[in-house]
Amino acid sequence: MKRLKDFLNEGLVKEGTKTIIQIKSIEGKVLFEYDCPGNTIRKTVEAAVKQKIELSNANLKGANLERAQLNFADLTGANLEGANLEGANMERVFLEDANLNGANFEDANMYIAVLKNANLEGANLKNANLERASLYQANLCRANMEDAYLYHASLYHANLEGANLKNAFLKNANLNGANLVGANTKGADLEGALLKNTKK
113 close to 91: Cβ distance less than 8 angstroms = yes
Rounded to an integer, what distance in angstroms lies between the CA atom of residue 65 and that of residue 79? 13
Q: What is the pLDDT of residue 19?
A: 87
Distance CA 174, CA 195 (A): 7
- Contact between residue 7 and residue 24 where contact means Cβ atoms under 8 Å apart: no
**Average pLDDT of every residue of the chain:** 93
Amino acid identity at 2: K
Q: What integer pLDDT is reported at residue 141 of this predicted model?
A: 98
Residue 11's pLDDT is 58
Residue 15 pLDDT > 90: no
The C-alpha angle 157, 116, 82, rounded to 5 degrees, equals 110
pLDDT band at 157 (very low <50, low <70, confident <90, very high): very high
* Residue 9 banded pLDDT, cuts 50, 70, 90: very low
* 46-80 pLDDT per residue, tens: 999 999 999 999 999 999 999 999 999 999 999 99
Residue 4's pLDDT band, with cuts at 50, 70 and 90, is: very low
Q: What global pTM score does this model have? A: 0.90
Percent of the chain with pLDDT over 90: 90
Quickly state the pLDDT bin for 16 (edges 50, 70, 90): low
Q: Which own/partner pairs from 73-81 qualify as long-range (CB within 8 Å, at least 24 positions apart)?
A: 73/45, 73/49, 77/26, 78/26, 79/26
Amino acid code (one letter) for 115: L
Say if residue 153's pLDDT is above 70.
Answer: yes
